Structure 1
């Protein structure tokens, strides 16, 4: 039970037994107050003391003791800064053949004001200030996602189990208006210019749901004309190496381009394969005179397909399988339950 003691002529409350102690160190120090706790006993009965840290005022030292007693953490990990923890986390991922995505690296750069702060000392308010300083909502969301991953790793190391970013609020991500589906009249206009490479490229996306780069990267060896499907995809686990049904409407385009002697399927009228989306846009899409092309971005074809499938009352799960976007309610069991023919039948409804 606590009593009273004298510090510099001032009566203060004695701390409870096993709560910890505060000592004022001698000399002219910037942080003269040390917070100490007992973490066991030696064979001779003497206590094993660990320093929580050094503080500018007694009040700060008391706050550190209060935080520790409320949620004890591993003292040996107390000095681990945010930067040090991130470095250990990246090494931990690499040991398990997991790379650190570029968006996580970008999120870490935004954490720079907290690099040198011991991870267990970062407060919820500091996280909130950091996230509020992000220029855009997606950036703020990524910072919180990365912080949660670091707290999960810190718990694994027994550094702390107190996740202080949980209560941090992130701004709502505005729904993108960048992409829009091709209208019915615009689709007819594309068909009227089907002899144009850019129009054919757009139609392939409109009737397959592929991303622009996915079309570019489809290899001839993965095109199964007789079975009406291709294998390809990028970006997500659900999108990679998926079965992409070939709609009857675009089958003539696919047959015309297909050649086992070439590596890639997509070629222009001269048999040239655009190597990147940037190249394709600069040399075909952006210089097209077709209004339907000029008024849209290449990615709009994918949105057109998704919208058309939904308008045709195709189930949400089938749509997600076709376009390669699993979603939260899709798991591996769905893939075994949906046959290729079902995907082909669905794509031919549009």
Structure 2
């Protein structure tokens, strides 16, 4: 590299060529979206870029905090790559301030549930990356995120459209959960991997909390400009079931809420059919 001539765009091209084969499609989309915001510096010589240029992009783009986080990450990796290759000697990205915009999110959900528009947006991108299926699986099952990680392949009965939660934070959480027709293809896809746990990380192992949130959940939320925590999917499931006038007792059975009348953990086929009918309403 000729440090006196190489541009920001050329750094991005060289870095992405090396890096993209090793990351998820959702992360790739996130980086590309952030790069598109950098039109003012794309053709600048990288060594000539200063903090004022980077901060100017942040200040003028008008984006929400999830996008700004991805933008700063892009700056970070660009400078890390450039310094490693002796293109520059100072990392200006570490001084970029996005904190003052943490509350700038006009589309932020005041509630914890996913809106119908957000759910539709999830469906629109679900084929981009298998991990984009995860938020929809959580929404259409009402699972706690830990229950998802602990779900074993042997406990899924896809032909009968249900699975068993055998490990949960509460006694009521041990339950039979119906599989909605909408997400049955997702289960079929993950079960075809023949792993111990149904939904796994890229190495085929069990998810761990921080890695799941940082490497799988947050990249999807950043890509879509969503501000949601994994637990919001559970609230969304309950809300959708309620909206579709599903009986409260059935809702508690599906999501594993304790109730005076809900003590059973083994269901009859008739009861399972009722659960499947209920979940297919959302």
Q: In structure 2, how many angstroms separate the alpha carbons of the residues matched to 1:246 and 1:265?
A: 13
Deviation, structure 1 residue 337: 9.7
Q: 1:180 aligns with which of 98, 112, 118?
A: 112
Work out whether residues 197 and 284 of structure 1, in 8 Å CA contact, stay in contact via their aligned partners in 2: no
Q: 1:304 aligns with which of 225, 236, 239?
A: 236
Q: Which residue in the other structure is 1:263 paired with? A: 196
Work out whether residues 220 and 259 of structure 1, in 8 Å CA contact, stay in contact via their aligned partners in 2: no
Q: TM-score, length-normalised on structure 2?
A: 0.55
Q: In structure 2, how many angstroms separate the alpha carbons of the residues matched to 1:298 and 1:333?
A: 25
2:160 is aligned with 1:234: no
Q: For residues 281 and 334 of structure 1, do their structure 2 counterparts lie closer, same or farther at Cα, with a shift above 3 Å needed?
A: closer
Q: Which residue in the other structure is 1:128 paired with? A: none
Q: How does 1:265-284 map to 2 (within 5 A)?
A: 265-267=198-200, 270=202, 272-284=204-216
Work out whether residues 320 and 327 of structure 1, in 8 Å CA contact, stay in contact via their aligned partners in 2: yes
Q: How does 1:91-106 map to 2 (within 5 A)?
A: none
SS at match of 1:286: helix
Q: Which residue in the other structure is 1:342 paired with? A: 274
| Unpaired stretches in structure 2, ≥5 consecutive residues | 1-108
Q: TM-score, length-normalised on structure 1?
A: 0.45
User: Is 245-254 or 193-202 further displaced after alignment?
Assistant: 193-202
Q: 1:248 aligns with which of 181, 192, 210?
A: 181
SS at match of 1:345: helix
Deviation, structure 1 residue 338: 6.2
Q: For residues 271 and 259 of structure 1, do their structure 2 counterparts lie closer, same or farther at Cα, with a shift above 3 Å needed?
A: farther
Deviation, structure 1 residue 219: 0.2
Deviation, structure 1 residue 273: 3.4
1:113-139 CA distance string (max 9 Å, x none): xxxxxxxxxxxxxxxxxxxxxxxxxxx
Q: How does 1:214-233 map to 2 (within 5 A)?
A: 214-232=147-165, 233=167
Alignment RMSD:
2.5
Q: In structure 2, how many angstroms separate the alpha carbons of the residues matched to 1:198 and 1:206?
A: 14
Work out whether residues 274 and 280 of structure 1, in 8 Å CA contact, stay in contact via their aligned partners in 2: no
Q: For residues 274 and 193 of structure 1, do their structure 2 counterparts lie closer, same or farther at Cα, with a shift above 3 Å needed?
A: farther
Deviation, structure 1 residue 315: 0.3
Work out whether residues 179 and 299 of structure 1, in 8 Å CA contact, stay in contact via their aligned partners in 2: no
Query: Which one has the bigger strand percentage?
Result: 1
Q: How does 1:166-205 map to 2 (within 5 A)?
A: 180-195=112-127, 196-205=129-138
Identify which of structures 1 and 2 has the higher relative contact order when contacts are C-alpha pairs closer than 8 Å and 6+ apart: 2
Query: Which one has the bigger helix percentage?
Result: 2
Work out whether residues 200 and 207 of structure 2, in 8 Å CA contact, stay in contact via their aligned partners in 1: no
Work out whether residues 205 and 301 of structure 1, in 8 Å CA contact, stay in contact via their aligned partners in 2: yes
Q: In structure 1, how many angstroms separate the alpha carbons of the residues matched to 2:177 and 2:218?
A: 27
Q: In structure 2, how many angstroms separate the alpha carbons of the residues matched to 1:238 and 1:336?
A: 17
Aligned length: 171
Q: In structure 2, how many angstroms separate the alpha carbons of the residues matched to 1:302 and 1:274?
A: 21
Higher gyration radius (CA): 1
SS at match of 2:177: strand
Q: 2:142 aligns with which of 188, 209, 214?
A: 209
Work out whether residues 322 and 343 of structure 1, in 8 Å CA contact, stay in contact via their aligned partners in 2: yes
Deviation, structure 1 residue 223: 0.6
Deviation, structure 1 residue 291: 2.4
